[in-house]
Amino acid sequence: MQAEIITIGDEILIGQIVDSNSAFIAQQLNKIGVSVYQITSVQDDTAHILKSLKEAEENADIIILTGGLGPTKDDITKNTIATYFQDTLVQDASVLKNIETLWKNYIKQPLSQLNIDQALIPSKATALMNKVGSAPGMWLEKENKTFISLPGVPFEMKALIQEEVIPRLRKKYKFPYILHKTLLTYGIGESNLAEKIETWEDNLPKHIKLAYLPNLGKVRLRLSAKGNVKEEITKEVDHQINLLLPQIQEYFTGYEDQEESLEALIAKKLSAAKLTLATAESCTGGKIAENITAHAGASSYFKGSIVSYTEEIKINVLKVPETLIAKHSVVSAEVAETMARNVLQIFNTDFAIATTGNAGPTKDNTKEEIGTVFIAIATKNTVYSQKFTFGKPREKVINRAVNKALELLKKEIFKNR
Amino acid sequence: MQAEIITIGDEILIGQIVDSNSAFIAQQLNKIGVSVYQITSVQDDTAHILKSLKEAEENADIIILTGGLGPTKDDITKNTIATYFQDTLVQDASVLKNIETLWKNYIKQPLSQLNIDQALIPSKATALMNKVGSAPGMWLEKENKTFISLPGVPFEMKALIQEEVIPRLRKKYKFPYILHKTLLTYGIGESNLAEKIETWEDNLPKHIKLAYLPNLGKVRLRLSAKGNVKEEITKEVDHQINLLLPQIQEYFTGYEDQEESLEALIAKKLSAAKLTLATAESCTGGKIAENITAHAGASSYFKGSIVSYTEEIKINVLKVPETLIAKHSVVSAEVAETMARNVLQIFNTDFAIATTGNAGPTKDNTKEEIGTVFIAIATKNTVYSQKFTFGKPREKVINRAVNKALELLKKEIFKNR
């Protein structure tokens, strides 16, 4: 069973936005056993959309489109689908009712004709109710193929995929099971690793695929397999991993958890153990707090953060001694550790993270190079820090600091607990 | 002149990574006047890559491939290109020298056969030197069409695009000029905006395209045009913008290309006037601070934030009276205003923003509905707040609260100053 994803919108093709919708949809489809054959991004252009629909129908059983469903004239997906299905648009009463409710509760303005017209869908389509926006999803069938059209706004698309598309697909089709397992290795290059495990790789059964995913000192090894019985597939892949592990023992650091982000793992552990967390952020500017609070339920373990973006705030609010800053500079292990220790006390938490660094582009009045970040972890009993050089540009430094801070915290939390 | 981008790799099609390479390449091509007709992501599969090469050749003049050039067996792009061009692989001396240099300076290990084989390229190809990695870029021509194959590692791909691909394309072809201008508006919905400017939109010349890009309370309007003479195109688009501006005066905040985002406007005004800002964030969890500090130079006006994610922190750190919370609940105008007033005092700033709300998915112990957010603005002389209902889901509530808070702050900052 194969799917094709078509993302529609000039903004993708001029590089104004990065298409992150496709990766989300592909993940969700993979989970239920649907492989994605191809992802195609096309312009807001009738002929081009029609052409890609035709090609997708030849290649795939399930065709998912996103984008081009807004109320304005540049949004042409709905009319194009009607043309493709030799159909006309008709008003869907349930969609209109949903739009009226949204307008009454949130927009609090009279409905315009453009809003009302969003309730028009091809007569052959089933509306998929978009509870968080006015553009409905649409489900159309043609012989045994299914066409699904979704809005391009990520949170609207995500809600529709999870609440409507996946359950309906599972009801309609019987899917095989797809298993991916990704092993993390550290400290060996891609080509050396490949030579080390060559015999094992050559002996892999045909239906188990291996991929090397190298990235700055780490190489991920992904094993993929597909079959009808989950237990069989899992057993086979595990067997191959058992053969592999002794050969890469010294480089193997664990499995990549595709379902569980660092934040999710931290969240689960902290809430279960009724432990709490605070952050004191300088160069990360609140982004660690933001990442943590993006998850529902964060208030059960995350108490908050002090973002101290100037020396004055580090001194006056975080109570870092002025003399310590004068001696070591704000970008130092000593200041990072004091920030962590103090925010732990001020917020009365079990764990604290602190960051101080120079994200660039200028050096300001620190001794350290651009890209230098100190990250400290404090608990009731201990505090320690590590120095990192994250390079350039600013955005990369901030993001790597956030990831590294969460990684260090996770290690600390899972240590002996 | 049209291009097609083909990204190769199973990791894209299973959603393990988001393809951000395409957006970068599309941006760079657009800048020199090349439109991207389509972006296609395909599997590491010979037949599939061959098929997409054939289709791309029919649609486009310039075909750029990324990915699948590593040293391991799952990387098949190079062999597939050789097949497509009915060619064989030969060792390229300059590529081998580059690999030897990289290994000597950075890897400090003997070259393996797999590394040496990375110097093999199709005999008809010109190598594009990858100074930061071992996989070379390749340039092939077929009649007047150009095929370019690049490694998928983003920083290797980026360096090759900027240093090799763009200069060579400009030398080979004569490109038209492509202009995009994006206007930012705040405070009006997509459909209302569309109705307001309908006559103007209907009278736009055919070669100027308009797109609406809505995103949580902001709508971006993008005008695109293409032509041979830069000055003419710019003049025409500017003329249309001059006709448009009086109609959207109260919503228009600036141009995206000129980096006049809300944060940038706030930054400019505050640094020029030597004024300072702090935030006290509950439901936005540090995201306002993060947005502000994403801009270089923020430390000249942004002192920091107190993220108070629990009642306890609002009381103990932000000094919100317990009785006030008991009387009005944490999600209230009174608490928002006290948070703003207090963080202004604690951080000793000229302006402060505070947010408190219920982002969902559960109501917790507040009286207010999910999606309700109070945003307060404080200055040395005044404090006020507004109540908003931002709907669902969580992600949308947080993002709309951040946008709205920055919008209110901008209004306050620009008022009588």
Residue-level pLDDT, tens digit, chain A, 417 residues: 899 999 999 999 999 889 999 999 999 999 898 999 999 999 999 999 999 999 999 999 999 999 999 888 888 999 999 999 999 999 999 999 999 998 888 877 788 898 999 999 999 999 999 998 899 999 999 999 999 999 999 999 999 999 999 999 999 998 888 888 999 887 788 888 999 999 999 999 988 989 888 765 578 899 999 888 889 999 999 999 999 999 998 888 778 865 566 788 889 899 999 999 999 999 999 999 999 998 888 999 999 999 999 999 999 999 999 999 999 999 999 999 999 999 999 999 999 999 999 988 777 666 788 889 999 999 999 999 999 988 777 887 888 899 889 989 988 998 855
Contact A404, A348 (CB under 8 A): no
Cα–Cα distance measured from residue A138 to residue A129, given in angstroms and rounded to the nearest whole number:
9
How does DSSP classify residue A299?
Answer: G
Q: Which of B6, B13, B364 to mutate to test the interface with A (most CBs of A within 10 A)?
A: B13
What is the percentage of chain B residues whose pLDDT exceeds 90? 68
The band of B307, judged by pLDDT with boundaries at 50, 70 and 90, is very high
Contact between chains at B72 and A294 (C-beta distance less than 8 A): no
Contact B19, B36 (CB under 8 A): no
Contact A262, A403 (CB under 8 A): yes
**Contacting residues of B for A210, CB less than 8 Å apart:** 73-74
Cα–Cα distance measured from residue A25 to residue A28, given in angstroms and rounded to the nearest whole number:
5
pLDDT at B108: 73
pLDDT at A75: 87
pLDDT at A252: 82
Average pLDDT of every residue of chain B? 91
Residues 118-137 of B with CB under 8 A from A: none
Cα–Cα distance measured from residue A259 to residue B376, given in angstroms and rounded to the nearest whole number:
37
Task: Give per-residue pLDDT as tens, B393-404.
Answer: 888 889 889 989
Contact A129, A113 (CB under 8 A): no
Residues 188-207 of B with CB under 8 A from A: 189-192, 194-195, 201
Q: How far is B367 from chain A, CA to nearest CA, in Å?
A: 17
- Ranges assigned E (strand) in A309-400: 351-357, 372-379, 383-389
Contact between chains at B114 and A26 (C-beta distance less than 8 A): no
Contact A263, B285 (CB under 8 A): no
Q: How far is B65 from chain A, CA to nearest CA, in Å?
A: 14
Q: How far is A216 from chain B, CA to nearest CA, in Å?
A: 10
Cα–Cα distance measured from residue B48 to residue B218, given in angstroms and rounded to the nearest whole number:
40
pLDDT at A249: 84
Does any CB of chain B come closer than 8 Å to the CB of residue A255?
no
Nearest CA in chain B to A115: B191
- Tell me the whole-structure pTM to 2 decimals: 0.73
Q: How far is A307 from chain B, CA to nearest CA, in Å?
A: 5
Contact between chains at A285 and B306 (C-beta distance less than 8 A): no
Cα–Cα distance measured from residue A401 to residue A357, given in angstroms and rounded to the nearest whole number:
9
Contact between chains at A290 and B286 (C-beta distance less than 8 A): yes
Residue among B213, B290, B304 whose CB faces A306 most closely: B304
**Contacting residues of B for A27, CB less than 8 Å apart:** 14-16
Task: Give per-residue pLDDT as tens, B359-393.
Answer: 888 776 667 888 999 999 999 999 999 999 888 88
How does DSSP classify residue B108?
Answer: -
DSSP string, B43-101: -S-HHHHHHHHHHHHHH-SEEEEES--SSSTT--HHHHHHHHTT--EEE-HHHHHHHHH
Contact between chains at B309 and A310 (C-beta distance less than 8 A): no
| Pairing verdict, β A145-150 and B62-66 | unpaired
Residue A308 backbone dihedrals phi, psi, to 5 degrees:
-110, 95
CA A381 → CA A270, A335, A352, B181, distances in Å? 17, 18, 12, 56
A18: left (phi over 0), alpha (psi -120 to 50) or beta: beta
pLDDT at A157: 96
Task: Give per-residue pLDDT as tens, B171-219.
Answer: 999 888 888 899 989 888 888 899 999 999 999 998 898 988 887 678 8
Q: Cis before residue B393, ω within 30 degrees of 0?
A: yes
CB atoms within 10 A of CB B329: 18
Contact between chains at A37 and B25 (C-beta distance less than 8 A): no
Question: Which pair of structure tokens corresponds to residue A87?
Answer: 């159909």
**Contacting residues of B for A30, CB less than 8 Å apart:** 14-15
Q: How far is B122 from chain A, CA to nearest CA, in Å?
A: 21
Cα–Cα distance measured from residue B2 to residue B23, given in angstroms and rounded to the nearest whole number:
15
Residues 146-165 of B with CB under 8 A from A: 153
pLDDT at B112: 87
Cα–Cα distance measured from residue A137 to residue A64, given in angstroms and rounded to the nearest whole number:
10
Residue among B23, B389, B396 whose CB faces A18 most closely: B23
The residue type found at B33 is: G
Does any CB of chain B come closer than 8 Å to the CB of residue A231?
no
Does any CB of chain B come closer than 8 Å to the CB of residue A36?
yes
Residues 44-83 of A with CB under 8 A from B: 44, 48, 52, 55, 70-75
Residue partners of B158: CB distance under 8 A and separation at least 6: B24
pLDDT at A365: 64
Does any CB of chain B come closer than 8 Å to the CB of residue A117?
no
Higher pLDDT, A70 or B41: B41
CB atoms within 10 A of CB B60: 23
Q: Which of A270, A313, A349 to mutate to test the interface with B (most CBs of B within 10 A)?
A: A313
Q: How far is A139 from chain B, CA to nearest CA, in Å?
A: 22
| Pairing verdict, β A62-66 and A145-150 | parallel
Q: How far is B311 from chain A, CA to nearest CA, in Å?
A: 9
Residue among A290, A308, A309 whose CB faces B285 most closely: A290
Measured CA angle at B102 (ends B100, B108), to 5 deg: 85
- Report how many Cβ contacts below 8 Å link chain A to chain B: 338
Cα–Cα distance measured from residue A120 to residue A118, given in angstroms and rounded to the nearest whole number:
5
Please give the average per-residue pLDDT across B324-334, as a whole number: 95
DSSP string, A129-149: --TTSSSPEEEEEETTEEEEE
Contact B152, B21 (CB under 8 A): yes
Cα–Cα distance measured from residue A77 to residue A150, given in angstroms and rounded to the nearest whole number:
10
Please give the average per-residue pLDDT across B217-222, as a whole number: 86
Residues 281-300 of B with CB under 8 A from A: 281, 284-290, 292-294, 296, 298-299
pLDDT at A170: 92
pLDDT at B315: 97
Nearest CA in chain A to B67: A213
The residue to which tokens 């919008």 are assigned:
B407
Contact between chains at B212 and A395 (C-beta distance less than 8 A): no
pLDDT at A246: 93
Burial (CB < 10 A; 0-12, 13-18, 19+), residue B357, is buried
Cα–Cα distance measured from residue B51 to residue A41, given in angstroms and rounded to the nearest whole number:
17
Residue A105 backbone dihedrals phi, psi, to 5 degrees:
-80, -35
Q: Which of B332, B259, B334, B266 is nearest to B300 (CA)?
A: B266
Cα–Cα distance measured from residue A27 to residue A30, given in angstroms and rounded to the nearest whole number:
5
Nearest CA in chain A to B27: A15
Q: How far is CA A45 from the centre of its chain?
A: 29
Question: Which pair of structure tokens corresponds to residue B14?
Answer: 């299973």
The residue to which tokens 């709309």 are assigned:
B400
Residue partners of B344: CB distance under 8 A and separation at least 6: B278, B350, B351, B352, B378, B379, B380
Contact between chains at A285 and B308 (C-beta distance less than 8 A): no
**Contacting residues of B for A28, CB less than 8 Å apart:** 15
Task: Give per-residue pLDDT as tens, B247-272.
Answer: 998 888 888 765 467 888 899 899 99
Residue among B201, B364, B371 whose CB faces A73 most closely: B201
